[in-house]
């Protein structure tokens, strides 16, 4: 069963704003790794981050400790 994507949630709207504004962010993963780049899209389980080093990376939301901008 597919997870429902609730666009009215504040966290979803905030990520949509970061995508729209093309704001550079840092994502810290639960592993301690930090990835810097620009969000391209999100779905219920993943976000896609474009970085200068690696190009595009899909990141599972459950692997994210936090993001900052």
Measured distance CA(1)–CA(4) in Å, rounded: 9
Question: Above 90 in pLDDT, residue 65?
Answer: yes
Average pLDDT over residues 59-68: 96
The per-residue pLDDT for 30 is: 98
pLDDT at 49 exceeding the cut of 70: yes
Q: Which pLDDT score is estimated for 68? A: 95
Class (C level, CATH) for 23-68: mainly beta
CA distance 26 to 69: 6
The per-residue pLDDT for range 7-43, each reduced to its tens digit, is 899 999 999 999 999 999 999 999 999 999 999 999 9
What's the pLDDT score for residue 1?
A: 54
Question: What does the alpha-carbon distance between residue 2 and residue 4 come to, in Å, rounded to a whole number?
Answer: 6
Q: Could you tell me which of 56, 6, 69 has the C-alpha nearest to residue 47?
A: 56
Instruction: Give ∠ CA 53-21-55 in degrees, rounded to 5.
Output: 15
């Amino acid at each position: 069963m597919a997870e429902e994507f609730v666009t009215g949630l504040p966290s979803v709207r905030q990520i949509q704003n970061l995508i729209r504004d093309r704001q550079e962010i840092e994502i810290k993963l639960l592993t301690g790794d930090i990835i810097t780049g620009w969000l391209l899209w999100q779905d219920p389980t993943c976000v896609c981050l474009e970085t200068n080093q690696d190009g595009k990376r899909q990141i599972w939301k459950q692997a994210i400790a936090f993001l900052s901008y």
